[in-house]
Amino acid sequence: MAIFQFFKFIIQSSFQFYSQEEATWSNNLANQAKKQKINSNRINKHNRQTVNNPKVFKKNHFTIKQIKQKMTILQMFNSKMTNLIMDSKLKQIKQKVAKINL
């Protein structure tokens, strides 16, 4: 009987511990979400101000960096497309050569 009581005590204490851990974990998640929302609101406000004010918009390095990133992505896409086109043309040429050889 004492062993049963002992295991019952261990199980109850572990449940209490895990419920406390879960409560703190969910509380931390809620706090992080609030902080991220506040930060995103600040960034949005900053972006609105920079877009509306052309002098600040020109000096703002963040948008210039974004534009450069977009350009590099476009260049990568274009290079991949040209590679695909070249590959398809090479395949067509090989097919024609194979037909001629037959």
Q: What is the pTM of this model?
A: 0.26
What mean pLDDT comes out for the span 11-37? 69
Q: Are residues 89 and 53 in the same domain?
A: no
pLDDT for 59 equals 55
Q: Are residues 65 and 98 in the same domain?
A: yes
Contacts of 41 by beta carbon, 8 Å cutoff, 6+ apart? none
Looking at 26, 42, 59, which one is the last position of a domain?
59
pLDDT for 22 equals 65
Q: What does the longest C-alpha to C-alpha distance in the chain come to?
A: 93
Token digits of residue 40: 């995103």
Residues of the domain holding 85:
60-102
Q: Are residues 53 and 66 in the same domain?
A: no
pLDDT for 11 equals 72
Token digits of residue 95: 């097919």
Per-residue pLDDT reduced to its tens digit, 49-66:
655 665 655 555 556 666
User: What is the number of structural domains in the chain?
Assistant: 2
Q: Can you tell me which residue has the tokens 């261990």?
A: 10
Q: Are residues 12 and 42 in the same domain?
A: yes
